[in-house]
Chain A
Amino acid sequence: MSKQLNVALIGNPNTGKTSVFNALTGLNQQVGNYPGITVEKKEGICKLPRGVKAHIIDLPGTYSLNASSLDENVVIELLLNRNDKDFPDVAVVVSDVENLKRNLLLFTQIKDLEIPCLLVVNMADRMRRKGITLDIEYLEQQLETKIAVISTRKNEGIDNLKQQIANYKELSIKPCLSASDIDVEYFNRLRNAFPNQLLYKLWLVITQDVNFGKTDRKVIDAIASFKTKSEGDLKRLQQKETIKRYQFINNVLKKGQTIDASQATDVRAKLDRILTHKIWGYVIFFFILLTIFQAIYDWSSIPMDWIDSSFASLSNWVKDTFPGGGKVTDLIAEGIISGLGGIVIFIPQIAFLFLFIAILEESGYMSRVVFLMDRVMRRFGLSGKSVVPLISGTACAIPAIMATRNIESWKERLITILVTPFTTCSARLPVYLIIISLVIPEGRILGLSYQALTLMLLYLIGFGAAVGSAWVLNKILKIKSKSFFVVEMPNYKVPLLKNVALTVLEKTKSFIFGAGKIILAISIVLWVLASYGPGEQFNNAENIITEQYAQDNLSTDDLEHKIASHKLEHSFIGIAGHAIEPAIRPLGYDWKIGIAIVSSFAAREVFVGTLATIYSVGSDDEETIKNRMAGEINPILGGPLFNFASGISLLLFYAFAMQCMSTLAIVKKETNSWKWPVYQFTIMTAIAYIFALIAYQFLK
């Protein structure tokens, strides 16, 4: 394998690194107007001029090389470890033309590491509107670098950037200022003790709050003379260093950049006056949420009905077209198609949900919500930044839990991780929607449908459970960690259609394929278990039933139906279902629902598909999932199985229960211990059971 050129994209949060990455590699990583969208290293390949192949690494944003949260650590670890296979041959520092001053701080630090550095000034399309002009030649000379002015939004300057990356050998590795002047004597001592090490690297290792696994901090600590500086002294030195860097930057920009304020138009101030207003800010936020729920209901019912009936016809078509297929046809028509139909039907609603979240993120509104909610969230031991995981958790808890990485305080972060699975994720949506449509009457109040309001209530319950348990955790967890909060308020941006569309597409796709795989597997297993059984009762069902109803003069259809359900009751799955029935009967469920609940411990969205598979085994009519469920009769009490009491009980069970393997896995990864996912699973499921029990016993 020939050596590739390693290119790392580094820069402050929200400067457009991922946008540059996508432009270079042709990939579609998620972009969003909120600092901290990227929390992991992402890699891709880019073809440069003259046949050079570059390995591009997109990194989380960082304000400096002094890490204060986990996502920033990734960057520093990479830059300090020359043996890392991804160690960059060239660092491309991406900056935002409107925040050049602050962005250059990081640039000067990276220069001190003597890595070839290329400066990208992104968002050039905004220069005119803000009245900014740059003297590129002067800046290149002062900063000892080459500069590429680009706009990923307008797709300008990308080819030139590729050219400049290919010419990386011409970049100077001279630092642009000497930071060691802040304490000449100390740095001289350091240099003498470690003549072979880079001075700035040593300094970074000494001052980092966080411990890097492998880095040679211990070696430095081992030499006693360097412990002479107290922590306070070191901090003072760091402050001095920062001031010195800013002095340099200010001087450079004084000549290199002119801002004509009279040219600038400021929509931001006007928007902020309303959107972050003490009262209106909250009112608007509430209405945005309300609109989302109404939209999920009203806009997607048409495509949903269409999908539902298409799948029913498809299943029937398979049966009619391949009648000779026997068991295989049955498996495909009853097991797989019904199971998959149970998830595909929810694509419209899930896509809408993703669409709204993407718009909130791309517009810059998310940071305003963080600002509005911080005070409230802190009461519960959370941070304003916890709002982002809690909102994006409505799509899926997995990325949401990863998005907690930019929360500075470990305690606030841990609590956020632990409570995020309570928020109503899109996998619960299928269950909610189908149950609501069965047990909540149609009709409207003030133009809002009862069903949409019930859905909103369920989201509020999820949110309330998250916040409430955060409050409890905050009281019982004895973790000391410095709580500190700063969040950048980005400019408002008109969401770029392409970005939003791609995000929605990617997320929906991975939801469907992720869920699809599990559902496919489970449907097949369930179908087999439902279609075979041990013993006389199953194998001899025809005779038993025919005899039993010999006097009743049943039509052939009715008789066949009776046989099929007798078989199902005595199939493997029926036996298993009856075994667990005592535990779930007090909640108002029959054994079929029980099986659906058990299988949805793998993933919640399996619920509808499981029921669809179980119900369709042995039934020949072309029926939609919903109609089949509506037709189920409670075996003991009579009347519809899915009535108000059992429906509410099911809704509450799904609202609280921790039924997602993947989430547990990610919690284990992020907290680095099995303890937390195990607690989470046990406690959430117990809460679910208790609430479902109370609800059913009161309402029945």
Chain B
Amino acid sequence: MQHTIAHLKRGEKGIITDVSSVLIPLKLLEMGCLPGNLVELVQVAPFSDPLYLNINGSHLAIRKETAIHILIDRIDE
């Protein structure tokens, strides 16, 4: 199964593999949300929404509805 950022649990990491350019606003890409970058789920709000991420050193929060369009490879530790 394909994983997305929304599948991560708190403290887990992944590598972004694909970002749908149609559904994801350019601004998010410009903030570093690009294929190949490391993403860590820092914190989740109640109902897992929004998600507080560390993408490649940038700390930002996005909504779940956006997160499900960002595909990742999970890194298991």
Seen from chain A, the residues whose Cβ lies within 8 Å of a Cβ on chain B are 63-64, 66, 68, 98-99, 101-102, 105, 232, 235-236, 238-239, 242-243, 246, 268-269, 272-273, 276-278, 367, 370-372, 374-375, 378, 384, 482, 484-490
Name the residue of chain B whose CB is nearest to the CB of A233: B21
B27 and A239 form a contact (CB under 8 A):
no
- List the 5 closest pairs (A to B, CB-CB), nearest first: A489-B59, A239-B21, A64-B30, A276-B43, A371-B61
Cβ-closest chain B residue relative to A106: B30
Q: Which of A68, A238, A246, A486 contacts B62 (CB 8 A)?
A: A486
A374, B26: Cβ atoms under 8 Å? no
Q: Tell me, in angstroms, the Cα distance from A99 to B46 when the chains sit together.
A: 28
Asked whether B27 lies within 8 Å of A63 as measured between CB atoms, the reply is yes
Taking a contact as CB atoms under 8 Å apart, the answer to whether B63 and A374 are in contact is: yes
* Interchain nearest-CB distance for B13 vs A (Å): 14
Interface residues of B in 6-49 (CB under 8 A from A): 19, 21-22, 25-32, 34-35, 42-47, 49
A596 to chain B, nearest CB (A): 44
Binding site for A on B (CB under 8 A): 19, 21-22, 25-32, 34-35, 42-47, 49-50, 52, 56-63, 66
Are A242 and B26 neighbours in the complex by a CB distance under 8 Å? yes
Residues on A with C-beta less than 8 A from B32 are 101-102, 246
Inter-chain contact total with CB atoms closer than 8 Å: 106
B45→A372 contact, CB < 8 A: yes
Q: Decide: A484 and B66 in contact? CB cutoff 8 A.
A: yes
Candidate in A239, A374, A488 with the most chain B CB atoms within 10 angstroms: A239
Contact A375 B26 (CB under 8 A): no
Contact check, A66 vs B22: say whether CB atoms are below 8 A apart.
no
Min Cβ gap B20→A in Å is 10
Contact of A375 among B22, B30, B34, B49 (CB under 8 A): B49
Give the shortest distance, in Å, between B35 (CB) and chain A (any CB): 8
B61 to chain A, nearest CB (A): 5
Whole-angstrom distance from the CB of B63 to the nearest CB of chain A? 5
A-B contact pairs, 28 of them (CB 8 A): A66-B27, A66-B30, A68-B26, A98-B57, A102-B30, A102-B58, A236-B21, A239-B19, A242-B26, A242-B34, A243-B35, A246-B32, A276-B45, A367-B61, A370-B61, A371-B50, A375-B45, A375-B46, A375-B49, A384-B50, A384-B61, A484-B66, A485-B50, A485-B63, A485-B66, A487-B60, A489-B52, A490-B59
Chain A residues with CB under 8 Å of B27's CB are 63-64, 66, 68, 486
How near does chain B come to A10, taking the closest CB pair, in angstroms?
15
Give the CA-CA distance A459 to B52 in the complex, in Å: 29
The answer on a CB contact under 8 Å between A486 and B66 is: yes
Distance A115 CA – B25 CA, assembled complex (angstroms): 27
Q: Which residues of A contact B62 (CB under 8 A)?
A: 485-486
CB A483 to nearest CB in B, in angstroms, measures 8
* Interface contacts beyond A372-B45, A485-B66: sample of 11 additional A-B pairs, CB < 8 Å, sorted by A: A63-B31, A101-B57, A235-B26, A273-B43, A276-B45, A371-B61, A374-B50, A375-B50, A378-B63, A485-B61, A488-B58
- Identity of the chain A residue whose Cβ is nearest the Cβ of B51 in the assembled complex: A371
Tell me the complex Cα distance, A378–B49, Å. 11
Checking B28, B42, B45, B47 against A486 with a beta-carbon cut-off of 8 angstroms, the contacting residue is B28
- In the bound complex, do residue A99 and residue B26 qualify as a contact, i.e. CB atoms below 8 Å apart? no
Could you tell me if A102 and B61 are in contact, using CB atoms closer than 8 angstroms? Answer: no
Question: How far apart are A613's CB and chain B's nearest CB, in angstroms?
Answer: 50
Residues of A within 8 A of B43 (CB): 272-273, 276-277, 371
Q: How far is the CB of B65 from chain A (nearest CB, A)?
A: 8
Measured CA separation A612–B31 after assembly (Å): 55
Given A102-B32, A276-B43, A375-B49: A68 in contact with B25 (beta carbons within 8 A): yes
- With both chains docked as a complex, state the minimum distance between the C-beta of A292 and any C-beta of chain B, in angstroms: 23
List B contacts of A242 (CB < 8 A).
26, 29-30, 34
Expressed in whole angstroms, the Cα–Cα distance for A239 and B66 within the complex equals 16
Would A63 and B30 be within 8 Å (CB), given that A276-B45, A372-B45 are in contact? yes
Expressed in whole angstroms, the Cα–Cα distance for A235 and B20 within the complex equals: 10
The answer for the CA separation of A370 and B56 in the assembled complex, in Å, is 22
Q: Give every chain B residue within 8 A of A278 (Cβ-Cβ).
A: 44-46
- With A and B bound together, what is the CA distance between A68 and B30 in angstroms? 12
Contacts of B58 in A (CB 8 A): 99, 102, 488
Residues from chain A with a CB closer than 8 A to the CB of B50 are 371, 374-375, 384, 485
